A and B are shown apart, each in its own frame.
Chain A
Amino acid sequence: MPEPISDWLKSSVQRVEGRGMIMIRAEISKKSVSAAISNSFNVGFPKKCQIVSQSGRELAWMSTDECLGFLPLESVSKEIDNMHQALADEHHLVADVSALRVEFAVVGRVRDILAKGTPSDVSPKNFTLGEFRRSRIGQLSAAFWMTDEVSARILCRRSESAFMHEWLARAVQPDQAVNFFPVPDPMH
């Protein structure tokens, strides 16, 4: 868990360990398929470019035929078996990708920090809670979403995680704050 912020305007970044992830590829535009996935995974199915959270699990829309599920690491192999069953009648691919990517938690002026690296629109109007973006941060491929107005998660490939960590550590420096996007007042 990220450290509590003493200075409201200070931003910080921390690696998140221990989450399981599974890749599911199937014809998710078909209602029967998305329903089967949701039922097996126990999370509502996300719309395009969205992420849905439910009881400690998350399901994110990755592409027109791909989604990414987050769950406890110990549940991964059982869930893969279940998912194969659920999609048995469909052409599908299910794979354990728990080690493939690394997750970072960023706290503070997260929109400003993201805007330093992604050409994607992260303004409050166009990037809200529940939106899941795949883009780049600096030179790295990344996915990111907000968990609340001052917190965001960033996903990148494991091999590039050291580079990403260094980039984020630079971006959260207080003397490089841009203060372009509004941040909610903690007193209200």
Chain B
Amino acid sequence: MLRLKCPYCGQMVDETELTPGGEAHLKRATQNSSDDELLDYLFNRRNPKGVHFERWRHTFGCGKWFVVARCTVTHEVFGVYKAQTLKPPKSVVDAIANRRGHETQESQ
């Protein structure tokens, strides 16, 4: 069971205090998007065997959404950061590069 540090209230939080929110950094399909772009946004998700960026909400707590960079195989966590960003912060990208090297490209 995951245990993560909420980047807003600073509390160590159990998975059972959180609500999952699927893949992070999805780009909303606008009114001009093609049908394929829309379907991609609605249904296609990455499914990496490795580092994955996912959203969690601290529902039983401060109520804020954050993003976690987690390895889907070992549950190793590379960083937890606030959701108000279009892409992972440099510190998290660096952490992944330091520990996993070759995976960085794929996870972007």
Contact = CB atoms under 8 A, between A and B. Distances in A.
* A and B in contact, CB less than 8 Å: yes
B17 to A, nearest CB: 6
Contacts of B61: 134-135
B14 A63 contact: no
A63 to B, nearest CB: 4
Contacts of A66: 62-63
A141 B59 contact: yes
B64 A63 contact: yes
Interface string A103-126: 000000000000000011100000
A135 B60 contact: yes
A141 to B, nearest CB: 5
A63 B63 CA distance: 7
Contact of A136 (B8, B12, B16, B64): B16
A121 B17 CA distance: 13
Q: Secondary structure at chain B's binding surface: helix, strand, loop or mixed?
A: loop
Interface in A120-144: 120-121, 133-136, 141
A4 to B, nearest CB: 33
A66 B58 CA distance: 14
Interface in A1-57: 48-49
B11 interface: yes
Contacts, number: 41
A64 interface: yes
A133 B9 CA distance: 10
Nearest to A61: B9
B11 A136 contact: no
A64 B64 contact: yes
B10 interface: yes
Given A49-B10, A120-B11, A133-B11, A64 B62 contact: yes
Contacts of A135: 11, 13, 17, 60-61
Given A119-B14, A119-B16, A135-B17, A64 B9 contact: yes
Contacts of A119: 14, 16-17
Contacts of A80: none
A49 B62 CA distance: 9
Contacts of B12: 120-121
A120 B11 CA distance: 8
A49 B64 contact: no
Interface of B: 8-14, 16-17, 59-64
Interface of A: 48-49, 62-64, 66, 119-121, 133-136, 141
The 4 A-B pairs at the shortest CB distance, nearest first, are namely A119-B14, A63-B62, A136-B60, A134-B61
